[in-house]
Chains A and B, each alone.
Chain A
Amino acid sequence: MSGAVGREAVFPTRQSLGLMKSKLKGAEIGHSLLKRKSEALTKRFREITRRIDEAKQKMGRVMQIAAFSLAEVSYAVGGEIGYQVQESAKQARFRVRAKQENVSGVFLPHFESYTEDSINDFGLTGLGKGGQQVQRCRETYARAVETLVELASLQTAFVILDEVIKVVNRRVNAIEHVIIPRTENTIKYINSELDELDREEFYRLKKVSNKKQEDTAAADREIQAAREREAEKQLTSGKEKEAKEKETPDVPDVLGEQEDTDVIF
């Protein structure tokens, strides 16, 4: 496995070894952080899916009630109001605004419904008859739409979380299976290269010191020989000197033992 991921193209130096080591440490920290993030997100994700399931069931019921109240309206009005309603739609009274919610660094939107009270459409619908039913139907549908909006925000969160979790998991896996083994490989490579260099260096030093020792021994011998020669020379020259000195004994020795007559002390 670790052989397959290869290593990074670096020069095996001590500096890059340090770099790689800090990189490995960073990767490990990043891995554990990302793993925790992914777990937190997954927890949230499961909660959301559960709520989506519930909300979908609720939506089924609510829409059924709403459809029933619409049937009541058409019964009371005594005809189709669809056309009239469609034609009189001008400005949306029921709107949503998006808010953000932060889950482990992921921004999840949350829709919030609100009604623009200044806009009042369909003022004329059901004016003839069935006004009360129309009013009730509007309220029922407004509640239904609120449920739908809630469901929509859950669903949006679901989609976003799904994507983010995929990305995070991909990163976790990439770090775990590619970056960390590769960095370890690189460290191993650098270490072996450095050891090799160390051995080489050691061997070289040993060679050098051996050579030096030999050199010094040779030099010592030479010096010894030179000294001996010198001594021999001195010996011979000393004898010559002695012979010379013996020839001139009448020079008075100033620093000698005999006293001078003109010295007071």
Chain B
Amino acid sequence: MASAVAYKERQFLAVIGDEDSVTGLLLAGIGHVTDPPDAQRNFLVVDAKTENSTIEKAFQNFTRERNDIAVLLINQHIAERIRHAVDSYSEAFPAVLEIPSKDHPYDPEKDSVLKRVRRLFGE
């Protein structure tokens, strides 16, 4: 059981996404940069040149190391690139949410949570 203290601290959202998604979400005001000296952003812009290892590192950072993030939003096509990491992630906090991007419409078949839903109900 996730203890009550564990998620009282969590108040930010984090994004891993392409430029448009990140820009839009930042416009909504979710962007947060921690105080210097070790300033950390809670978003990562991924383009075609970004390496998978960078994405995975950011994913691990957001999900395991930082404890102020409640929800991690990740573009579905990016989640696809680090699918094994997303699928093997099963913690409740932070919640990992796959979101559609402009160029990639949402495909419920690939969503790791929906896959679990389908598996549970045997569809």
B37 at the interface (CB under 8 A from A): no
Contact segment of A16-24, A95-103, A225-233: A95-103
Provide the residues of chain A in CB contact with B113, threshold 8 Å: 52, 155, 158-159
A152 adjacent to chain B (CB < 8 Å): yes
| Chain B: minimal CB distance from A189 (Å) | 38
**Alpha-carbon gap, A80 to B45, bound state (A):** 14
* Cβ-defined contact, A63 with B99, below 8 A: yes
CA distance A121 to B30 in the complex (A): 10
For chain B, residues 18 to 72, give those with C-beta under 8 angstroms from any C-beta of chain A.
19-33, 41-43, 45, 70-71
A-contact bits for B1-26, CB 8 A (1 contact / 0 none):
11010011011110000011111111
Residues of B within 8 A of A91 (CB): 32-33
| Contact between chains at A109 and B105 (CB < 8 Å) | no
Q: A89-B43, A92-B32 are in contact. Are A52 and B117 (CB under 8 A)?
A: yes
Stretch at the interface among A6-14, A139-147, A177-185: A139-147
Q: Is the interface of A mostly helix, strand, loop or mixed?
A: helix
Number of interface residues of B (CB under 8 A): 51
Contact A121 B22 (CB under 8 A): no
Give the number of A-B contacts (CB < 8 Å). Answer: 163
Q: Are B97 and A151 in contact (CB under 8 A)?
A: yes
B75-100 interface code vs A (CB 8 A; 1 in, 0 out): 00000000000000011110101011
Q: Does A141 lie within 8 Å of B24, measured CB to CB?
A: yes
Min CB distance B54 to A, Å, is 16
Q: In the complex, which residues of chain A have a beta carbon less than 8 angstroms from the beta carbon of B105?
A: 60, 64
Closest A residue to B107 by beta carbon equals A60
Interface string of B100-118 (1 = CB under 8 A from A): 1110011010010110110
| A172 on the B face (CB < 8 A) | no
Evaluate contact between A159 and B23: CB separation under 8 angstroms: no
Question: Do residues B90 and A56 form an inter-chain contact, with CB atoms below 8 A?
Answer: no
CB-CB nearest 4 A-B residue pairs:
A89-B31, A93-B29, A141-B28, A92-B32
- Apart from A152-B70, A153-B95, 8 more pairs, CB < 8 Å: A53-B117, A82-B23, A96-B12, A96-B71, A134-B27, A144-B24, A152-B71, A159-B95
Give the A-binding residues of B (Cβ under 8 A): 1-2, 4, 7-8, 10-13, 19-33, 41-43, 45, 70-71, 73, 90-93, 95, 97, 99-102, 105-106, 108, 111, 113-114, 116-117, 120-121
